[in-house]
Structure 1
């Protein structure tokens, strides 16, 4: 697939893994209005391909990372200082569209966090399926120290990631978590010694996922999203519906055929 050149993003597709790099290193990759606009366009373009291409996807996984010494250090405070309340609401709503679009992609998405993931950066990472971190990474929601509140999903997603107690503490105090602390809290899935190892680890996971059934992964992602926070009996009904849907796919026929024939499957993605 072809993506345009963006003012604040770099994109690279290798082995059906798309890497999106937020590229404002002089500003520690802060999420300006232009960056949010670029992210919205890029993720929307990917979503249109994946949702309309009937499984023959050029992308089977995404990595989101940051250039230089940070993942994303937060929102662009200099820009936000001049915003009116209505401007702020529009900015928040636009970034919500980005994070929801990320969550709704039918392929795995990994945030590869190097350095700071604060405020909007932590919120962007939490919209991804998995968060991998370099050992120098730090996470936090420091908005209250600026007289602000999270605007890109932090007050919603952080309790679901780390539990309500720790989330309240972090949101009330602005305290940062190291990579090791974030791993212990369940926010981060894996910690790596260097940025190179971090990106290699993310690509390795997505390469492994790319060998599985795309149709099944899409169903798993949808089931996880639809059952979160629901009572177990209701959630199990949704799971049973997904199980039934899997049996109608060409991937199920190929996967079971290959297993019985003791051959590697060649999933069509439908």
Structure 2
């Protein structure tokens, strides 16, 4: 296992039993994992490293009694409109979008209270695993702000516009079981970290290039609808036949039946 640690977050890489590399990005900024300049700079650094050398799957998680207690409001005290706009552009373009567009599955683990920017990061991930009693919320309204790292629109995409408006405008906390019913959270698990790691390893041991194709098609549909996704699908899925993953999986299926492939991602 390799471990790259900078200040308030760390990036570890390890291999599954089948040899697939996984990246684990951990927020570790005690006592409450508050978002401040130190944390977001650390996340930017590690996400850039994942972009430069993508593993076969990524797990985003946190240490401590909460996933994130919100933002350190002192970071906003001296911002004016111009500086705030630049900050949100930077955080969207250097944390949320790069994480969302990694060419591999990304899983988020919410073991406990998860607020504000951490919810926005979770919504940028492909799948969210949460403890049934974990609470998630956008509480920016207490300082007359709104989620500004893409959380509103990504919540609306998962749960619908009405639920997104209600969750953001009220600042209420929602338990993970409710958000699972809404389609925001994908898996409920008491042992959240173990379940999230197992899911990440399962995805890493599979056809990662095919998972990337799924992400691409969903993204095209999200911005352009079914017609645009239909137009993109033949090119995106046709390209899979030039990958070792697909060639080896087809060959092994014909030779030995399903479940025998070793995916290399080339």
TM-score normalised by L of structure 2? 0.91
Do residues 119 (structure 1) and 116 (structure 2) align?
A: yes
CA distance in 1, matches of 2:246, 2:105: 19
Q: CA offsets per residue over residues 166-202 of structure 1, 9 Å max, x none?
A: 1111122111111111111111111222xxx111111
Q: Report SS of the residue matched to 1:70.
A: coil
Give how far 1:126 is off.
0.6
Q: CA offsets per residue over residues 101-131 of structure 1, 9 Å max, x none?
A: 0011111111101222111111111111111
- Give the structure 2 partner of residue 56 of structure 1: none
Q: Report SS of the residue matched to 2:7.
A: coil
Q: Is the 8 A contact 1:219 1:242 kept in 2?
A: yes
Q: Is the 8 A contact 1:25 1:70 kept in 2?
A: no
- Give the structure 2 partner of residue 171 of structure 1: 168
- Give the structure 2 partner of residue 77 of structure 1: 73
- Give the structure 1 partner of residue 26 of structure 2: 21
Q: Is the 8 A contact 2:2 2:12 kept in 1?
A: no
Q: Report SS of the residue matched to 2:242.
A: coil
CA distance in 1, matches of 2:121, 2:115: 9
Q: Is the 8 A contact 2:209 2:245 kept in 1?
A: yes
Give how far 1:3 is off.
5.6
Alignment of 1:11-90 (within 5 A): 11-15=11-15, 16-26=21-31, 28-50=32-54, 59-90=55-86
CA distance in 1, matches of 2:71, 2:193: 24
CA distance in 2, matches of 1:88, 1:114: 30
CA distance in 1, matches of 2:78, 2:33: 19
- Give the structure 2 partner of residue 260 of structure 1: 254
Alignment of 1:226-245 (within 5 A): 226-245=220-239
- Give the structure 2 partner of residue 152 of structure 1: 149
TM-score normalised by L of structure 1? 0.89
* Alignment RMSD (CA, Å): 1.7
Where do 5+ consecutive residues of structure 2 fail to align?
16-20
CA distance in 1, matches of 2:253, 2:108: 32
Where do 5+ consecutive residues of structure 1 fail to align?
51-58
Q: Is the 8 A contact 1:141 1:174 kept in 2?
A: yes
Q: Is the 8 A contact 2:123 2:154 kept in 1?
A: yes
Give how far 1:82 is off.
3.0
Of the structure 1 ranges 180-189 and 59-68, higher mean CA displacement relative to structure 2 is found in: 59-68
Q: Report SS of the residue matched to 2:78.
A: coil
Give how far 1:243 is off.
2.0
Give the count of matched residue pairs.
Answer: 258
CA distance in 1, matches of 2:63, 2:165: 30
Q: Is the 8 A contact 1:75 1:121 kept in 2?
A: no
- Give the structure 2 partner of residue 101 of structure 1: 98
Q: Is the 8 A contact 1:117 1:125 kept in 2?
A: no
- Give the structure 1 partner of residue 214 of structure 2: 220
CA distance in 2, matches of 1:212, 1:121: 27
- Give the structure 2 partner of residue 207 of structure 1: 201
Give how far 1:19 is off.
1.7
Q: Report SS of the residue matched to 1:68.
A: coil
Q: Is the 8 A contact 2:4 2:12 kept in 1?
A: no
